[in-house]
Amino acid sequence: MDVVLSGIRATGHLHLGNYFGALRNFVKIQDKYNCFYFIADLHSLTTHPHPEDFHQNVKIILTEYLAAGLDPDKCTIYVQSDVPEICELYTLLNMLAYKGELERTAAFKDKVRKNPENVNAGLLTYPVLMASDILIHRSSWVPVGKDQDQHLEMARTFARRFNNLYGTEVFPEPHAMDPVGGPVKVPGLDGNGKMGKSEGNGIYLCDDEKTITKKVMRAVTDAGPKTPDSPKPEVIDNLFTLMKLVSTPDTVNYFEEKWNDCSIRYGDMKKQLAEDICKITLPIRARIDDIANDSSYLHRVVSDGRDKARASASATLEMAREAIGIKRF
Ligand code: TRP
């Protein structure tokens, strides 16, 4: 059975971008493939989080993964730092990753521009650690957002380079797995393009009804259409994009018609949008507190996940070591 793997950096609560961009898709496929979902806590160390926040962030993602419907009986859920085999593979792959190609990575250049005072080696080799995450289970499919395409391309490059150099087929080339119907880009409602934590425009799975409504009602709009059937400016298109994710087709059509005949009232549309977001997120939110308070359940999930992940990881590592010529005396 094909291996599917994805992960998320442990930097805080999950927002609708994470949910519709990837998580909802994971939940749907978790019993159709051999699925691994992990929390990338080591990756989050590039920004030197406070030790207490570090653990808290892992717990938040774990809890929200489970609340959103990831089922530890169907897939393997684990914490990256619990699986030391990933770090060993990272060391091995670092020997095949060139400084120039790492420096040319868009995400790296972006970080250098934004935080010139913290250009550490972990940041430079972020794609190598990510490739190790993927290759350690010999994954074929990685459901992630478009923004990770370049990182995935690098994982393929490292896999191919390893296989060619050592004349093996240890690593299959991993590919992006798009949700049924194509990739989903969740827009921000502040005219900022995508929804993201660093963009500061997130609507979170843990937000209550009042917070969600407030965020949606604040969405940037324009003065309204002047002529029938006119194209939508980006901020309005964003409202519709989000609506298509959370509302019924009838609701979307209703507002499309209102847009087309210039009778649209953004206030009504936002109210509907907020309501429909709540319909999807509030059941998840309701589970978050219960799960977060059940520490024996969380402990069980993480330790079962670690055992399963380590069994798979050590088998791959054994093959990689053998291919390289690392032998036991
Ligand atoms: N880089 C990913 C992100 O920022 C997180 C991540 C780390 C990841 N390792 C991964 C995603 C392996 C998929 C597979 O979202």
Architecture of domain 3-184+294-324: 3-Layer(aba) Sandwich (3.40)
Class of the domain covering 209-289: mainly alpha
Buried-exposed string 140-151: b where 16+ CB fall within 10 A, e elsewhere: bbbbbbeebeeb
- Bridge-based pairing of strands 3-9 and 34-40 is parallel
pLDDT at residue 183 in the model: 79
Percentage of the chain surpassing pLDDT 70?
Answer: 100
Give dist(CA 215, CA 203) in Å, integer.
7
- Bridge-based pairing of strands 34-40 and 76-79 is parallel
Q: Is the pLDDT of residue 180 over 80?
A: no
Give dist(CA 83, CA 312) in Å, integer.
10
144 lines ligand 1 (CB under 6 A): yes
Reported confidence tier of residue 181, pLDDT bands at 50, 70, 90: confident
Contacts of 61 (CB under 8 A, 6+ apart): 8, 10, 14, 39
40 lines ligand 1 (CB under 6 A): yes
Reported confidence tier of residue 208, pLDDT bands at 50, 70, 90: very high
Whose C-alpha lies nearest to ligand 1, atom 5?
Answer: 8
Contacts of 247 (CB under 8 A, 6+ apart): 272, 273, 276
pLDDT at residue 11 in the model: 87
pLDDT at residue 281 in the model: 96
130 lines ligand 1 (CB under 6 A): yes
Closest CA to 268 of 216, 314, 203: 216
9 lines ligand 1 (CB under 6 A): yes
Q: Where are the domains of the chain?
A: 3-184+294-324, 209-289
42 lines ligand 1 (CB under 6 A): no
* Most ligand 1 atoms within 8 A of CB, residue of 15, 25, 43 to mutate: 43
Segment 122-128 shows an average pLDDT of 98
pLDDT at residue 192 in the model: 76
CA distances from 101 to 60, 105, 153, 234, 265 (A): 34, 7, 11, 34, 50
* Most ligand 1 atoms within 8 A of CB, residue of 3, 77, 151 to mutate: 151
43 lines ligand 1 (CB under 6 A): yes
The rounded Å distance from CA 262 to ligand 1 centre is 43
Reported confidence tier of residue 68, pLDDT bands at 50, 70, 90: very high
Other CB atoms within 10 Å distance of the CB of residue 219: 22
The rounded Å distance from CA 233 to ligand 1 centre is 32
Percentage of the chain surpassing pLDDT 90?
Answer: 89
Would you call 152 helix, strand, or coil by DSSP? helix
Give dist(CA 301, CA 224) in Å, integer.
50
328 vs 161, higher pLDDT: 161
137 lines ligand 1 (CB under 6 A): no
Give dist(CA 1, CA 29) in Å, integer.
13
CA atoms within 13 A on the CB side of 35: 22
The rounded Å distance from CA 82 to ligand 1 centre is 16
142 lines ligand 1 (CB under 6 A): yes
The rounded Å distance from CA 7 to ligand 1 centre is 5
| Active site positions, annotated | 111, 194, 197
Length of the chain: 329
Average pLDDT, the chain: 95
254 vs 182, higher pLDDT: 254
Whose C-alpha lies nearest to ligand 1, atom 13?
Answer: 6
Start-to-end Cα distance in the chain: 34
131 lines ligand 1 (CB under 6 A): no
Buried-exposed string 233-255: b where 16+ CB fall within 10 A, e elsewhere: eebbebbbbbbebbbeeebbebb
The rounded Å distance from CA 292 to ligand 1 centre is 23
H-helix or E-strand spanning residue 141: strand 141-142
Amino acid at residue number 118: N
pLDDT at residue 6 in the model: 94
**Range with lowest mean pLDDT among 100-109, 195-204, 296-305:** 195-204
Would you call 34 helix, strand, or coil by DSSP? strand
Atom of ligand 1 nearest to the CA of 40: 7
For the whole model, what pTM was predicted? 0.92
pLDDT at residue 150 in the model: 96
Segment 249-276 shows an average pLDDT of 97
The rounded Å distance from CA 179 to ligand 1 centre is 17
CA atoms within 13 A on the CB side of 229: 0
pLDDT at residue 22 in the model: 84
3-184+294-324 against 209-289: fold identical: no
Of 12-21, 26-35, 173-182, 245-254, give the range with the top mean pLDDT.
245-254
pLDDT at residue 184 in the model: 83
Q: pLDDT tens digits for 15-53?
A: 999 999 889 988 999 999 999 999 999 999 999 999 999
